[in-house]
Structures are given as C-alpha cells and as structure tokens.
Amino acid sequence: MNKNLVEFLKKVVVESKPRKFPQSVDVSINFKNINFKQPQNRIEVNVEIPKPFGKKMKVLLFASDQGVKTELKDVVDKVVGIEEIPNLDKKAIKKIAVGYDLFFAENKAMQTVGKYLGQTLAPRGKMPKLALPNKNAMLAMINKEQNSIKITNKKGKFLPTVHFKIGSEKTSAEDLTMNLGAAMEKLIAALPSKEQNIKSIYVKTTMGAASQADIKFFL
C-alpha cells in the first residue's frame, strides 16, 4: 500500500470542515490527448472495489415465468410481471425509475421493458441486465454490482473528465487508498496511452477544497 497516498487522503479528510452530514470523498480526473468526440474514445469502466461503501441497492426484477418469479423473489426487492408493464402510467414508471437502483429482466421481458420503460430508464443508466434463473447466481451478480463503481464520461457533453466516489469521510484512509488504487488501475488500463493521458487528479470531500494528487502515487 502506498503510504504517501494514505497520508494524502488522510489530510484531505482531516482538513475538510465538519458538516452536519457525512461527506463523500470524491475524485475528479482530467484527461489530455484524447478526442472524446469520437465514440470509441469515451470512457466507461466498472470497478469492483475492495472496500465497498455504498448503501444497499434496491433491486427490481421484470419477469414472466412463474418459476423464475418464485426462485428470485427473495433476492430482489420487487418483482414486476411482464403483463403489468403495458398498464403502468407515467407516474408509476417514474416512481419505479427513481425508487430502485438496479434492474434485471428475463430475456422474454427485455423487449417489453424497452418499449414501455426505455425512455425513462435509459437516460438514468438503469436499463435492466439479463436475469439469471438461479438464486445463487443472481445473488453473486447483485453483490458484484453493489461492490462496484462506474467511471464514465459517456453522458452529457463528453467532457475530458470523470468524477466518482471512493468512500466517505468515515472511511479509513487505508480503505480509501485501496478503492482509489483499484479505480486508477482499471481506468489507466482502459486509456489508449495509459498514464500519459492523465492530465490531473483531484480529491475532495463533498464541501471541501480540492487537493491535487500526484500521478506517481499510482505508478
């Protein structure tokens, strides 16, 4: 573990003014020498972090087969039958989109979900993943999503920057270091010129001042 990075992250948290809520620890990375107007250059990586920090995800399943509904009802928070989908009004669809974090659908339900809910779920990055008709396999998928963060600039104006969280001010500096290290390793591997495409790295708490991290921490 990089002791210099540990001390850097500890200082970021310690020097942040206390607030009435637990602040997150946020990372901003600026890139250089990449043309993000070209779709193939836009960044999207999922990182399974070693020290999860997020709240438990609420999971919804779209299904048609009664056997699948029975098998998976205990591993998701809500099951919506395929026959219910066409009858959902705009208010109900928005409530679903806002109220749940992670979506799965049986293969048979995918087309119906796309037709009736795609315009609401897609812009939020919540289109369903393919459900597996096995309780243990689904639990593994859910846990992996629960323990992952997404680093992307595919939304918005495709700016040469990404933002993501690595924990909160209550997370130890050692755990923050492990999460940031894992994120940087995966991100650098996805860049065409690796660390040469990193212009700058900043870390801050929600309301705190940004501190610049040395790229050497991750090499």
| β pairing state of 198-205 and 211-213 | antiparallel
| β pairing state of 161-168 and 198-205 | unpaired
pLDDT of residue 22: 87
CATH 3.30.190.20 domain span(s) along the chain:
3-52+148-218
pLDDT band at 13 (very low <50, low <70, confident <90, very high): very high
Fold of 3-52+148-218: Ribulose 1,5 Bisphosphate Carboxylase/Oxygenase (3.30.190)
Dump pLDDT digits (tens) for 96-132.
Answer: 999 999 999 999 999 999 999 999 999 888 999 999 9
Task: Give the DSSP H or E segment for 188.
Answer: helix 173-190
Write the class of the CATH domain 59-145.
alpha beta
- Closest Cα partner for 96 from 130, 64, 119, 66? 119
pLDDT, greater one: 160 or 124: 160
| β pairing state of 59-63 and 102-105 | parallel
pLDDT band at 159 (very low <50, low <70, confident <90, very high): confident
Q: Are 53 and 22 in contact (CB under 8 A)?
A: no
**CA atoms of 151 and 149, how far apart (whole Å):** 7
CATH 3.40.50.790 domain span(s) along the chain:
59-145
Q: With 90 as the cut, is the pLDDT of residue 176 above it?
A: yes
Dump pLDDT digits (tens) for 80-102.
Answer: 999 999 999 999 999 999 999 99
Q: For residue 143, what is the DSSP state?
A: H
pLDDT band at 205 (very low <50, low <70, confident <90, very high): very high
Q: With 80 as the cut, is the pLDDT of residue 55 above it?
A: no
pLDDT band at 146 (very low <50, low <70, confident <90, very high): confident
pLDDT, greater one: 165 or 39: 165
Whole-model pTM above 0.75?
yes
Q: What is the share, in percent, of the chain residues with pLDDT greater than 90?
A: 78
- Closest Cα partner for 105 from 138, 146, 148, 145? 138
Task: Give the DSSP H or E segment for 141.
Answer: helix 135-146
Q: Are 138 and 104 in contact (CB under 8 A)?
A: yes
pLDDT of residue 29: 97
Q: With 90 as the cut, is the pLDDT of residue 1 above it?
A: no
> In this structure, how many other beta carbons lie within 10 angstroms of the beta carbon of residue 25?
25
